[in-house]
Structure 1
Amino acid sequence: MHTLVQGNQLYEYKWHHDRPFRPSAARAGRVRSRSNDAARRLFVGWLDGEEPNLLRYVFLNPIARQVIPDWMERARRVLAEFRAESSRRLDDPALVALVDDLRTRSDFFARCWDEHEVVVPLGGERAFEHPRDGRLLYEQIAFTLASRVDLKLVMLIGR
Structure 2
Amino acid sequence: MDDAQRLRELKDFLQTRRARLSPEEFGFPSGRRRAPGLRREEVAQLASVSTTWYTWLEQGRDIRVSAQVLEGLARALQLTTEERTHLFMLALQQPPPELDTQQEIISSVHQQILDHYGAGPAYMTGRRWDVLAWNQPASILFGDFSAMPHRERNFVWFFFTNTAHRRLLVDWEDHAQFVLAKFRSTCSRYLGDEKLIELIEDLLRVSPEFRQWWPRHDVFGRPFGRKEYEHPIVGRLIFDYTAFVAAESPDLRFVVYTPLPGSETLERFRKLQELHKAKSLFI
TM-score band w.r.t. shorter chain: 0.7 to 0.9
Unaligned runs of 5+ in 2: 1-105, 261-283
User: Which structure dedicates a bigger proportion of its chain to strand?
Assistant: 1
**Structure 1 residue 99 displacement after superposition:** 0.5
**CA shift digits 1:35-72 (9 cap, x unpaired):** 32x32111137676432111111111211321111111
Map of 1:11 onto structure 2: 122
Number of matched pairs: 147
Unaligned runs of 5+ in 1: 21-30
**CA shift digits 1:103-159 (9 cap, x unpaired):** 011121111111111100321222222232221111112222465221222221112
Map of 2:57 onto structure 1: none
SS in structure 1 at match of 2:233: coil
The one-letter amino acid of 1:15's match is G
**Structure 1 residue 6 displacement after superposition:** 3.9
> Matches of 2:233 and 2:116 in 1, distance apart?
17
- The reply to whether residue 41 of structure 1 matches residue 116 of structure 2 is no
Q: Structure 2 length as normaliser, TM-score?
A: 0.46
Map of 1:24 onto structure 2: none
Taking a change above 3 Å as real, the CA distance of residues 132 and 52 of structure 1, as seen in their structure-2 partners, is farther
The one-letter amino acid of 2:121's match is L
Structure scoring higher RCO (CA < 8 A, sep ≥ 6) equals 1
Contact 2:123 2:132 in 1 (8 A): no
Contact 2:125 2:132 in 1 (8 A): no
Map of 2:5 onto structure 1: none
> Matches of 2:144 and 2:171 in 1, distance apart?
17
**CA shift digits 1:78-98 (9 cap, x unpaired):** 111111122211321111111
Identical counterparts, % of pairs: 30
Q: Structure 1 length as normaliser, TM-score?
A: 0.78
In our comparison, the structure showing a higher alpha carbon Rg is: 2
SS in structure 2 at match of 1:142: strand
Contact 2:123 2:138 in 1 (8 A): no
Map of 1:32 onto structure 2: 132
> Matches of 1:100 and 1:121 in 2, distance apart?
25
User: Which structure dedicates a bigger proportion of its chain to helix?
Assistant: 2
Map of 1:153 onto structure 2: 254
Contact 1:46 1:54 in 2 (8 A): no
Matches within 5 A, 1:96-111: 96-111=197-212
SS in structure 2 at match of 1:119: coil
> Matches of 2:116 and 2:172 in 1, distance apart?
24
Map of 2:233 onto structure 1: 132
CA RMSD in angstroms, aligned pairs only = 2.5
The one-letter amino acid of 1:43's match is F
The one-letter amino acid of 1:12's match is Y
